[in-house]
């Protein structure tokens, strides 16, 4: 029961009791009865005045409570003329002013934060309490394997290597992830507390271009220095060895063959070393592409005929999945031809004895894929693909994929190499 109801009940019972007693006094003394009636009427008037005096502040308090419930922090109360009540109203108004200021500040901060996240070049993915994607900024929607319609899905339900790696991130730790050997990301999973609940988010910064430029600058300097010093030394040494080789006629006949073989081996090894350094130098000296229009289909068929001769010791089924229309692109034909030769050569080498190589093109989006069902690429190796001069072959120099990366980067093309479902796919997006 509200306080006002209690006051009305008490006042009514009290005055009814007094009226009843006055009727008993009527037979005893009429003058006291009349005086009592006057006093009762005065008491009723005072009670009505007190009730109104109490009701007005209560109405103000009720309206203030309703404003707080409705989160309306613009309503202020006015004084009612009671010192105690006016003091309470002042405290209420001060509280409302502070809440309004805090709300404005919070709204401004949220607005600024949302605009900052939206404009950030780093990808940011917000997660809800069930580890589902709550939101993502435009930069996150451009990540491989991510789209705006993935909102509400869990990371472990998404396809793609990046989503799988992000799902395994530990809280509060920063990790460098290498995806398909071409994309390098710095990823961090953290959280903030809002209204007593922890909200997790993942920040992803792409480092591919930055690391590529620094790596390229570093190995260019090293290769130039090594190539210069090596070639100068090898030329002088081979000249001396060739001169010494002319003196074999002065030796006894039984020593001549060993003498000749030893010097010839040394000269050939020097030439092989020179060839190795030339291969490294070729990667550095790749010229800017001279573009011309060409049909990718005709280029693929030319390269396939060339490489089919190298696969004669294996049973390889060439499967063509080409678009019905020609795929015309602007490329440096010689450089891209070299890339295709390297890729198909690796596909042939990945097949042990029998296998299939699929040559596939697409016009929307424009792309070329070369697939093989060879031994595939392990997860550990995939993280190092396209690293400068990395190779899994016993005597490999890692020049092929490094050269491929340089050519495709110079063309501004996106590319990837990954194994999944028993197939290894090298994909180039024009």
Please indicate, yes or no, whether residues 316 and 425 belong to a single structural domain of this protein: yes
Contact 359, 304 (CB under 8 A): yes
Q: Cα–Cα distance between 404 and 340 in angstroms, integer?
A: 9
Q: List the CATH number of the domain containing 347.
A: 3.30.565.10
What sign does the CA torsion over 153, 159, 163, 165 have?
positive
Q: Cα–Cα distance between 67 and 290 in angstroms, integer?
A: 72
Please tell me the total count of domains within the chain: 4
The token pair at 191 is: 């959280």
Please indicate, yes or no, whether residues 263 and 300 belong to a single structural domain of this protein: no
Determine the pLDDT at residue 209.
63
Residues 6+ apart with CB under 8 A from 388: 215, 216, 219, 398, 402
Q: Is residue 221 part of a domain?
A: yes
Q: Cα–Cα distance between 404 and 347 in angstroms, integer?
A: 14
Provide φ and ψ at 92, rounded to 5°.
-60, -45
Please indicate, yes or no, whether residues 411 and 299 belong to a single structural domain of this protein: yes
DSSP string, 214-254: HHHHHHHHHHHHHHHHHHHHHHHHHHHHHHHHGGGGGS-HH
Q: Is residue 112 part of a domain?
A: no
The token pair at 35 is: 């005086």
Determine the pLDDT at residue 28.
73
Please indicate, yes or no, whether residues 425 and 297 belong to a single structural domain of this protein: yes
Q: Cα–Cα distance between 378 and 183 in angstroms, integer?
A: 17
Contact 340, 327 (CB under 8 A): no
Q: Is residue 422 part of a domain?
A: yes
The token pair at 85 is: 């009540």
Residues 6+ apart with CB under 8 A from 375: 350, 352
Of 76, 106, 136, the domain-final residue: 106
Q: Is residue 229 part of a domain?
A: yes
Please indicate, yes or no, whether residues 189 and 221 belong to a single structural domain of this protein: no
Q: Is residue 111 part of a domain?
A: no
Question: What angle is formed at CA 132 by the lines to CA 126 and CA 134, rounded to 5 degrees?
Answer: 40
Of 166, 184, 206, the domain-final residue: 206
Please indicate, yes or no, whether residues 315 and 413 belong to a single structural domain of this protein: yes
Three-class secondary structure of residue 316 per DSSP: strand
Q: Cα–Cα distance between 378 and 384 in angstroms, integer?
A: 10
Contact 355, 314 (CB under 8 A): yes
Q: Cα–Cα distance between 182 and 184 in angstroms, integer?
A: 7
Please indicate, yes or no, whether residues 272 and 217 belong to a single structural domain of this protein: yes
The residue segments making up the domain with residue 196 are: 120-206
Of 168, 188, 206, the domain-final residue: 206
Please indicate, yes or no, whether residues 153 and 176 belong to a single structural domain of this protein: yes
Q: Which residues of 225-264 are buried (b: 16+ CB within 10 A; e: fewer)?
A: eebeebeeebeeebeeeeeeeeeeeeeeeeeeeebeeebe
Residues 6+ apart with CB under 8 A from 59: none
Q: Is residue 114 part of a domain?
A: no
Q: Cα–Cα distance between 386 and 198 in angstroms, integer?
A: 39
Q: Which residues of the chain have pLDDT under 70?
A: 1-4, 53-58, 80, 145, 147-149, 159-160, 180-182, 194-196, 207-232, 273-286, 379-400
Please indicate, yes or no, whether residues 42 and 135 belong to a single structural domain of this protein: no
Find the distance separating the first CA and the last CA of the chain, reported in whole Å.
Answer: 78
What sign does the CA torsion over 310, 311, 317, 321 have?
negative
Determine the pLDDT at residue 297.
92
Please indicate, yes or no, whether residues 146 and 52 belong to a single structural domain of this protein: no
Contact 58, 4 (CB under 8 A): yes
Q: Is residue 260 part of a domain?
A: yes
The token pair at 50 is: 């007190």
Q: Cα–Cα distance between 92 and 61 in angstroms, integer?
A: 9
Q: Measured over all CA atoms, what is the biggest interatomic distance in the chain, rounded to whole angstroms?
A: 169
The token pair at 141 is: 């929607």
Q: Is residue 414 part of a domain?
A: yes
Residues 6+ apart with CB under 8 A from 295: 326, 327, 328
Please indicate, yes or no, whether residues 309 and 401 belong to a single structural domain of this protein: yes
Say whether the peptide bond before residue 86 is cis (omega within 30 degrees of 0). no
Please indicate, yes or no, whether residues 215 and 177 belong to a single structural domain of this protein: no
Q: Cα–Cα distance between 62 and 66 in angstroms, integer?
A: 6
Q: List the CATH number of the domain containing 169.
A: 3.30.450.20
């Amino acid at each position: 029961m509200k306080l006002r109801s209690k006051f009305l009940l008490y006042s009514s019972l009290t005055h009814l009791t007094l009226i009843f007693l006055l009727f008993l006094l009527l037979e005893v003394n009429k003058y006291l009865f009349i005086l009592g009636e006057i006093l009762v009427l005065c008491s009723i008037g005072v009670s009505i005045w007190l009730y109104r005096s109490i009701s007005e502040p209560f109405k103000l308090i009720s309206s203030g409570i309703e404003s707080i419930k409705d989160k309306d922090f613009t309503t202020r109360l006015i004084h009612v003329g009671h010192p105690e009540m006016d003091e309470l109203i002042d405290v209420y108004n001060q509280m409302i002013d502070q809440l309004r200021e805090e709300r404005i500040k919070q709204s401004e901060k949220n607005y600024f934060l949302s605009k900052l996240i939206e404009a950030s070049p780093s990808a940011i993915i917000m997660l809800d309490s069930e580890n589902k994607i709550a939101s993502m900024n435009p930069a996150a929607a451009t990540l491989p394997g991510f789209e705006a319609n993935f909102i509400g899905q869990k990371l472990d339900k998404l396809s793609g290597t990046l989503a799988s790696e992000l799902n395994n991130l530990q809280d509060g730790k920063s990790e460098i992830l290498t995806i398909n050997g071409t994309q390098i990301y710095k990823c961090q999973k953290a959280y903030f507390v809002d209204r007593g609940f922890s909200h997790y988010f993942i920040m992803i910064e792409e480092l591919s271009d930055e690391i590529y430029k620094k790596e390229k600058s570093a190995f260019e300097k090293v290769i130039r220095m090594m190539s210069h010093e090596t070639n100068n030394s090898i030329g002088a040494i081979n000249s001396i060895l060739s001169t010494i080789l002319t003196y074999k006629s002065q030796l006894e006949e039984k020593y001549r063959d060993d003498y000749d073989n030893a010097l010839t081996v040394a000269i050939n090894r020097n030439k092989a070393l020179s060839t190795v350094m030339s291969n490294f130098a070729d990667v550095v000296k790749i010229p800017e592409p001279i573009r011309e229009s060409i049909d990718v289909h005709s280029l693929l068929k030319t390269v396939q005929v060339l490489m089919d001769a190298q696969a004669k010791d294996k049973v390889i089924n060439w499967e063509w999945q080409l678009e019905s229309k020609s795929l015309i692109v602007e490329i440096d034909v010689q450089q891209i031809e070299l890339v295709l030769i390297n890729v198909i050569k690796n596909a042939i080498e990945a097949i042990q004895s029998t296998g299939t190589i699929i040559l596939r093109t697409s016009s929307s989006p424009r792309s070329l894929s070369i697939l093989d069902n060879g031994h595939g690429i392990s997860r550990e190796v995939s993280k190092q693909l396209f690293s400068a001069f990395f190779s899994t072959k016993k005597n490999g120099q890692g020049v092929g994929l490094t050269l491929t990366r340089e050519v495709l980067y110079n063309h501004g093309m996106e590319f990837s190499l990954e194994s999944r479902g028993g197939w290894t796919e090298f994909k180039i997006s024009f």
